[in-house]
């Protein structure tokens, strides 16, 4: 899988590339990263990437041409590395006006060969660039960020951890909260050593070795927590399948 980022702040992506689960996966060649700065695709002495909005108003707008040239470079690099048709790669704009990202979308992206991700700064991006090149827009939710970079990293992180071999324990991804295949319940609480910490013991059932009882306890904890904190998830969850032997 390959992601190409169009960003004025390329250094931000070192965190995702070099740290933690995604860093290890990158080092093992499970995914690759291209980072393209629109500033490097300008031709004026000031390397201008933004300008004032036609019609007036606050803030600045990212200019179409440096973005378009950066996208062309990313398409060419992807084409040189794989047989992929450079005109068919998804070009995703991270934008407050986009469709909300979720686990289902992450799973869909995980089965793809990646994308070109456009990170906006300032008030926005010239609409003519969006109309020409962007195939979809994604948002994280209803709060205001300073730009698309952190949103792009959130989306990439949610996708990369689903790739085969990225997590140590393949079951971890399956057991995640929000996994729609699990009915989208919140995770049950976790405990590790010591058996008593600050006077508080670990719930006895977890020490019992009774795997069926442990599974049932976790299921009940999940349901109670979801009912208390995220009842909206229960409405979407399928009824429990009695055939799985937990009850
Ligand atoms: C007053 C108009 N604002 C739109 C809500 C302007 C504006 C705010 C923040 C324009 C761009 C941005 C930068 N945000 C992103 O690029 C962004 C974002 C976000 O702010 N929230 C949630 N998801 C995303 S994805 C990209």
Instruction: Write down the pLDDT at residue 244.
Output: 46
37 CA distance to ligand 1 middle (Å): 19
Atom 1 of ligand 1: nearest residue by CA position: 123
121 CA distance to ligand 1 middle (Å): 8
Both 156 and 226 in one domain: the answer is no
Both 193 and 83 in one domain: the answer is no
Both 139 and 228 in one domain: the answer is no
Both 47 and 135 in one domain: the answer is yes
Cα–Cα distance measured from residue 237 to residue 140, given in angstroms and rounded to the nearest whole number = 22
Which of 115, 133, 160 is where one domain is finished? 160
Instruction: Write down the pLDDT at residue 170.
Output: 63
Is 154 within 8 Å of 128 (Cβ atoms)?
A: no
Host H or E run for residue 37: none
Successive 10-residue mean pLDDT values, the chain, 247 residues: 98 98 98 98 98 98 98 98 94 98 97 98 96 98 98 98 88 70 83 98 98 98 98 79 42
Both 147 and 194 in one domain: the answer is no
- Does 168 map to a domain? no
Beta-carbon count within 10 A of 74 CB: 25
Closest ligand 1 atom number to CA of residue 120:
16
Which of 160, 188, 205 is where one domain is finished? 160
Which residue from 2, 9, 26, 52 is spatially nearest to 148, judged by alpha carbons? 9
Instruction: Write down the pLDDT at residue 241.
Output: 54
Atom 5 of ligand 1: nearest residue by CA position: 96
Both 142 and 216 in one domain: the answer is no
- Does 167 map to a domain? no
Q: What amino acid positions are annotated as catalytic residues? A: 96, 123, 161, 176
Total count of domains within the chain: 2
Instruction: Spell out which residues line ligand 1, taking CB within 6 angstroms.
Output: 94-96, 120, 123-124, 139-141, 143-145, 147-148, 151
- CA distances to 16, 31, 114, 172, 219 from 175, rounded to whole Å, are 23, 23, 24, 5, 11
Closest ligand 1 atom number to CA of residue 146:
13
Which of 125, 160, 195 is where one domain is finished? 160
Both 8 and 112 in one domain: the answer is yes
Confidence (pTM): 0.93
Cα–Cα distance measured from residue 102 to residue 13, given in angstroms and rounded to the nearest whole number = 21
Q: What is the extent of the structural domain holding 75?
A: 2-160
Both 49 and 116 in one domain: the answer is yes
Is 88 within 8 Å of 75 (Cβ atoms)?
A: no
- Does 170 map to a domain? no
234 CA distance to ligand 1 middle (Å): 30
- Does 169 map to a domain? no
148 CA distance to ligand 1 middle (Å): 7
- Does 166 map to a domain? no
Instruction: Write down the pLDDT at residue 242.
Output: 42
Both 50 and 84 in one domain: the answer is yes
Cα–Cα distance measured from residue 13 to residue 153, given in angstroms and rounded to the nearest whole number = 7
Residues in the chain: 247
């Amino acid at each position: 899988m390959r992601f190409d980022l169009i960003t004025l702040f390329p250094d931000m992506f070192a965190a995702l590339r070099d740290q933690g689960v995604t860093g290890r996966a990158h080092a093992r060649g499970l995914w690759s990263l291209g980072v393209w700065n629109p500033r490097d695709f300008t031709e004026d002495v000031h390397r201008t990437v933004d300008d004032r909005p036609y019609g007036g108003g606050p803030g600045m707008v990212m200019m179409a041409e440096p973005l378009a040239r950066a996208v062309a470079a990313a398409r060419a690099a992807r084409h040189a590395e794989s047989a992929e048709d450079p005109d068919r790669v998804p070009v995703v704009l991270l934008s407050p006006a986009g469709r909300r990202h979720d686990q289902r979308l992450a799973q869909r992206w995980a089965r793809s060969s990646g994308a070109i991700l456009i990170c906006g700064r300032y008030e926005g991006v010239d609409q003519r660039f969006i109309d020409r090149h962007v195939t979809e827009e994604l948002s994280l939710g209803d709060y205001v960020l300073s730009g698309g970079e952190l949103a792009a990293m959130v989306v990439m992180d949610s996708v990369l951890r689903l790739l085969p071999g990225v997590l140590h324990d393949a079951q971890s991804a399956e057991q995640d909260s929000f996994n729609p295949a699990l009915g989208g319940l919140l995770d049950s609480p976790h405990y590790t050593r010591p058996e008593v910490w600050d006077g508080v013991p670990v719930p006895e059932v977890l020490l019992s070795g009774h795997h069926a009882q442990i599974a049932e306890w976790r299921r009940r904890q999940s349901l109670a927590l979801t009912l208390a904190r995220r009842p909206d998830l229960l409405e979407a969850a399928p009824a429990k399948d009695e055939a799985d032997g937990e009850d």
